[in-house]
Structure 1
Amino acid sequence: MKIRKELWFGLGFMAVVLVAVAAMLLSVERVTNGHLGLLMLSMVVVAIMLGFPTAFTLMGMGMIFTWLAYDRDLTRTLDLMVQAAYKTMASDVLIAIPLFVFMGYLVERANLIEKLFRSLHLSMARVPGSLAVATLVTCAVFATATGIVGAVVTLMGLLALPAMLRAGYSTPIAAGAITAGGCLGILIPPSVLLIVYGATAGVSVVQLYAGAFFPGLMLAGLYVLYVIAMAKFKPHLAPPLSAESRRVALPELTARLTRDGGEHAVRRLLHALKGRRNADVPLGHVLRQLGVVVLPALLFAAVALASYRSVTAPLEVVDYGIEPISFSAPGTEERSESTGLQEPPGVAEPPGADDGSLQEPPGAAELAEPPGAEPAPAEGVTEPPGAAGDAAAVAEPRPVPTWWWATFAVLAAIVAIFYLFLSFARLEIFKMLLSSFFPLLILILSVLGSIVFGFATPTEAAAVGALGGFLLAAAYRRLTFSVVKESVYLTAKTSAMVCWLFVGSAIFSSAFALLGGQDLVEQWVLSMNLSKIEFMVLSQILIFILGWPLEWTEIIVIFMPIFIPLLDNFGVDPLFFGLLVALNLQTAFLSPPVAMSAFYLKGVAPPHVTLNQIFAGMLPFMGIQIIAIVLLYVFPGIGLWLPQLLYK
């Protein structure tokens, strides 16, 4: 019987793990509990690769080795298991997982992806490699709305792969664009991976979302640039669309207004309002088209005005209700009485105070205020110096920041270009985007914006997202009982898997720490005298290798509790480390021979598309991911600028 390459790889990897553990145990003079912890870790990896359920493997191994560590005391073992499970499940952050997953399944079943892909590839028809570029943009938008890698790759494999193959695209280019774009949901918020990492590492999920925003955009942008470059310099791999593929059918009433779809829409619609030249076109239709035309200008004006008021609003002065303390000047006994201040009992004036024998020191009368000094107030306490000026300064509007001018200058240029080249064909494409892209964009901005700007916690924003997905499905008339039932079932299945993984991870981590495995690993790493760069390179290589046989959930819940305690010794920010891990696990999803996205695509691809072709298409995108990891490490501000701006 011939064994497949994937099985050879898996068996070889398990053999390497077992040989390494055996060599370690034979090389030490005495086997300690720490060595038992490393044995437990290796047995977990081997058992998972053999196909045992990850969560229950973690729990089982954790309980067995805890029982050994406690000298076969079953009561203490069960106590540790219950405490670890309760501590994990009491985390409020985990509530966001089922809500985000439910939002993703509802959006997936609202059938938006087909309209989105169609409108995007028509709007980018003149861009080299437009079908592959539209696939990547669709995957990025849809991954942001769902965050489910398997669902995005499967749907785009059914929709975009046949279209690209019919257009003459190379199979590796088409397969690579779909698999790489589908994996963007691992990194781009609202990513479930970031929630799991935040709960495991004790890092704020809000800051992780803010930090992952620009690295996600950078990675998607590098993908698009690669596809455009390949289509430009090797057009036989991604040929341009034919004229028939770019043609946009106009509605009947709109077609009466123009001889062809290339005529300028704004000018022609304004002319249609005059005279009787368009008597066969109802005035209402013309006005509706003009209403669609002015939407971008109205939206730009509204956003610009609202943001301008927000960035220039004076800072608020918070009144904490603290009354100022009033001190009486000498000789104002009446004010003291009015304020209720009394002399304590038994306190008398010093001798000679009444007969005037107490005198001013010599020369006191000659003491005068220094030249230019302001006369002191006669009584009471005045405002501190500069208080009135500070209050006036606070009330003044803040200057407009430079980033606001730059952002809205770019937006204004985009709006101007939109109107300058707005033909009737482009107007129809814009209407298609209004019905597919912008509803998803509003949902994404409402969820991510409320999290990043602090209006809501991730859990509250996830609830808003779930409601938004429900409303989107209803608006597109896809909200049926079967759709809701299937979405709820899949959400419960996915959430149960993640939550059981957390419970198993908590039990496993407690057993590993109890055995001293963490201390042994820390001592071994520190004994190597690694620099910060060497530690980062070593950790990312290990995570990359682990990403071949293991899922990202297993890597996060098993190995992150081992890496996180080491970060303080090397001065590494856990937030920055999490962003590197998220980028790295993208690479692991595309690295053969165990690349899950490849198998997702193979399951829905035509029979003539082979796994080797899919793997060949994934390799260039994997190289781009490695470049993105290097860029993020060399320029950490890509990931840390936004969290520092918003929260520090």
Structure 2
Amino acid sequence: MTDPQIALLMLGLFIVFVFLGFPIAFTLMAMGIGFGYYAYFDARRQWRSFDRLDETASTWDTWSTWFEGFVNNRIFDLFVNQTYTVMSNEVLTAVPLFLFMGYIVERANIVDRLFSTLNIASKDLPGSMGVAALITCALFATATGIVGAVVTLMGLLALPQMLKARYNPSFASGIICAGGTLGILIPPSIMLIVYAAASGVSIVRLYAAALLPGLVLVGLYLTYVIGRSILQPSVAPRPSKDEVPDMPLGKLWMMIVTSFLPLAFLILAVLGSILFGLATPTEAASIGALGGIFLAFVYRAMTWQRLRESVYLTVRTTAMVCWLFVGSYVFSAVFSYLGGEHVISEFVQSLNLSPLMFLILAQLIIFLLGWPLEWSEIIIIFVPIFLPLLAIFEVDPLFFGILVALNLQTSFLTPPMAMSAYYLKGIAPPEVRLTQIFSGVMPFLFCVFVAMILMYVFPQVVFYLPELFYGR
């Protein structure tokens, strides 16, 4: 077999092992080192230590010399260097801080206050409770960026109230599942940090580029919720005065000040300091983490146990992301050294695709990968395969990253592997069936596709803010 054929075998075996359920990070590292040992094998370099042995050498000298010859392969140097590169990456240092902010906010009892306030404030809108749940999901998802946490907490908080208010179970479930995924796209998004580290695109420009598409997607979700509530009132009945009592304006404003504004201010402070160049993403994430701790103390929700849980979950998730990067870097380096990247590039060019067709093909592949894989695995492992092709088709990596972020919403919403649906089913009342949840997320999935089409047709939605703030 030629080296490029071995590279393709390496990629094929990796996909097989993933579907068999092997841990992805360790599979990447094992295959990178295994195939890399072959790729970097140099018989002269590896066995020259035996020249020092003579007939009087002991068994220990023989075995130690053999081991020295075995490890005298550049793949081990590559592995150590790539590990150090990941651990010293300044972009990735923001990940644990943003995660910690999210886990602290999740435990600060802010969400129940926020949902109650928005429910009362929007009671005159069609589908008011759905609107309140969606906006709460968007704010909470933006603050945490952790899909499972948002869907689970909002499922425990909002879903029972929506069902009690006679909302259609499918409609209510779709709102929570779709709203919980918004943190992947809307800054400060951890997914965008990971994409920036993988692609070399400025995280500041990515945050600016993602802001308007994120608002467009939220607007499409709200349009669907309100529009369907008007056209089909039975799915979202208007609340009675007993369910949502009238509130004096002064008291309502006080509720907004104490529940909505603190979280909104924290998000805007973090995001604003990044976009206006007042702080780096890592410094802004530190501010966010400190602000999350402050909010938890203000709401009297900070306990030693909650702090320990937040630190533990932060360390666990950060370790997963970093080891994925280490494995991906080693795997990609060996794959490229064997010529696999060149084979894929030549194959794609032989298809004579237009830039639009290339984008559609790339997004279709990422959409399909979203069924068995999580967003972190797609970004770290598979997106770098597309990055060298962007220059060939004259596609801006910034634009491509925002499309990927939009597309990855679907990885949590597309049956049969819609993880948002499974998160919600795990805590939903028994009468809410999984098929109902799947049915509820489909219209929101259509909204994601509409948003992607809008980005294709009106790319300035992506480029306007980065060019306004930072120039071309």
Counterpart of 1:445 in structure 2 is 268
Match of 1:9 in 2: none
**1:117-128 alignment runs, 5 A limit:** 117-128=115-126
- Give the aligned partner of residue 375 of structure 2: 552
1:245-297 Cα shifts (integer Å, max 9, x gaps): 2214xxxxxxxxxxxx6xxxxxxxxxxxxxxxxxxxxxxxxxxxxxxxxxxxx
Query: What displacement does 1:143 show?
Result: 1.0
Contact 1:223/1:624 (8 A) holds in 2: yes
Compute the displacement of 1:244 (Å). 1.1
The answer as to 2:204 corresponding to 1:234 is: no
Shift of 1:46: 2.2
Amino acid at match of 1:426: L
Residue pairs, 1:244-255, within 5 angstroms: 244-248=242-246
Distance 1:525 1:83 in 2: 31
Alignment of structure 1 residues 414-453 onto 2, 5 Å = 425-453=248-276
User: 1:49–1:550: 8 Å Cα contact kept in structure 2?
Assistant: no
**In structure 2, how many angstroms separate the alpha carbons of the residues matched to 1:595 and 1:62?**
30
**Structure 2 counterpart of 1:193:** 191
CA distance in 2, matches of 1:528, 1:119: 55
Match for residue 528 of structure 1 among 347, 351, 370: 351
Q: How far apart, in 2, do the equivalents of 1:33 and 1:440 lie? A: 54
Aligned mate of 1:55, from 20, 25, 30:
25
Shift of 1:82: 1.3
CA deviation profile, 1:393-422 (whole Å, cap 9, x unmatched): xxxxxxxxxxxxxxxxxxxxxxxxxxxxxx
CA deviation after TM superposition for structure 1 residue 453, in Å: 0.6
Which residue among 455, 461, 464 is the counterpart of 1:638? 461
Q: Which has the larger radius of gyration?
A: 1
**Match for 1:76 among 60, 74, 83?**
74
Distance of 1:182 and 1:203 partners within structure 2: 26
Compute the displacement of 1:587 (Å): 1.4
The reply to whether residue 515 of structure 1 matches residue 338 of structure 2 is yes
- Specify the code of the residue in structure 2 equivalent to 1:523: E
Residues in 1 aligned to 2:370 and 2:453: alpha-carbon distance in whole angstroms: 18
Please give the residue correspondences for 1:82-481 in structure 2 after superposition, counting only pairs within 5 Å: 82-248=80-246, 425-481=248-304
The CA deviation at 1:515 is 1.1
Indicate the RMSD between aligned Cα atoms, in angstroms.
Answer: 1.1
Name the SS of the counterpart of 1:521 in structure 2. Answer: helix
TM-score (norm 1): 0.67
Q: Which residue of 1 aligns with 2:50?
A: none
Using the TM superposition, give the Cα deviation of residue 49 of structure 1 relative to its aligned residue in structure 2, in angstroms: 2.3
Aligned position for 1:566: 389
Q: How far off is 1:222 after superposition?
A: 0.5
Deviation larger for 69-78 or 479-488: 69-78
C-alpha distance in structure 2 between counterparts of 1:123 and 1:39, whole Å = 58
CA shift for structure 1 position 168: 0.8
Note the C-alpha offset of 1:171: 1.0
Contact 2:210 2:462 (8 Å CA) reproduced: yes
Structure 1 CA distance for aligned equivalents of residues 162 and 8 of structure 2: 48
Deviation at 1:591, TM superposition (A): 0.4
Match of 2:181, SS state, is helix
Deviating above 6 A after TM superposition, structure 1's stretches of 4 or more consecutive aligned residues are none
Q: Deviations over 1:128-173 (max 9, x none)?
A: 0011111110001111111111100000000111111111111110
Give the aligned partner of residue 8 of structure 2: 38
1 or 2 for the larger relative contact order (CA 8 Å, sep ≥6)? 1
Which deviates more, 77-86 or 632-641? Answer: 77-86
Q: Please state how far the C-alpha of 1:427 moved relative to its aligned partner.
A: 2.1
CA drift of 1:530 comes to 0.8
Distance in 2 between residues matched to 1:639 and 1:50, nearest whole Å: 38
**Structure 2 length normalisation: TM-score?**
0.92
Q: Which amino acid in the other structure matches residue 453 of structure 1?
A: F
Q: Deviation at 1:514? A: 1.2
Give secondary structure in 1 for the equivalent of 2:226. helix
Q: Work out the CA distance in 1 between the residues paired with 2:249 and 2:163.
A: 26
SS in 1 for 2:41: coil
1:367-414 alpha-carbon deviations (Å, 9 max, x no partner): xxxxxxxxxxxxxxxxxxxxxxxxxxxxxxxxxxxxxxxxxxxxxxxx
| SS of structure 2 residue aligned to 1:92 | coil
Structure 2 stretches of 5 or more lacking a match? Answer: 47-70
CA offset digits 1:427-446 (Å, max 9, x no partner):
22221111111000110111
Superimposed CA distance per residue, residues 98-147 of structure 1 (whole angstroms, 9 cap, x where no aligned partner)? 00000001111000000000000110001000111111100011111111
Task: Note the C-alpha offset of 1:625.
Answer: 0.3
- What's the offset of the Cα at 1:71? 3.4
User: Which amino acid in the other structure matches residue 434 of structure 1?
Assistant: V
Q: How far apart are 1:87 and its partner, in Å?
A: 2.0
Distance across 1 between alignment mates of 2:345 and 2:80: 27
Indicate the residue corresponding to 1:490 in structure 2.
Answer: 313
Following TM superposition, by how much is the alpha carbon of 1:37 offset from its aligned partner in structure 2, in angstroms? Answer: 1.5
Verify the 8 A CA contact 2:165 2:243 in the aligned structure 1.
no
What SS does structure 1 have at the residue aligned with 2:18?
A: helix
Structure 1 portions without partners, runs of 5+: 1-30, 249-260, 262-424
Instruction: Give the drift of 1:45.
Output: 2.0
CA contact (8 A) 1:123 1:426 kept: no
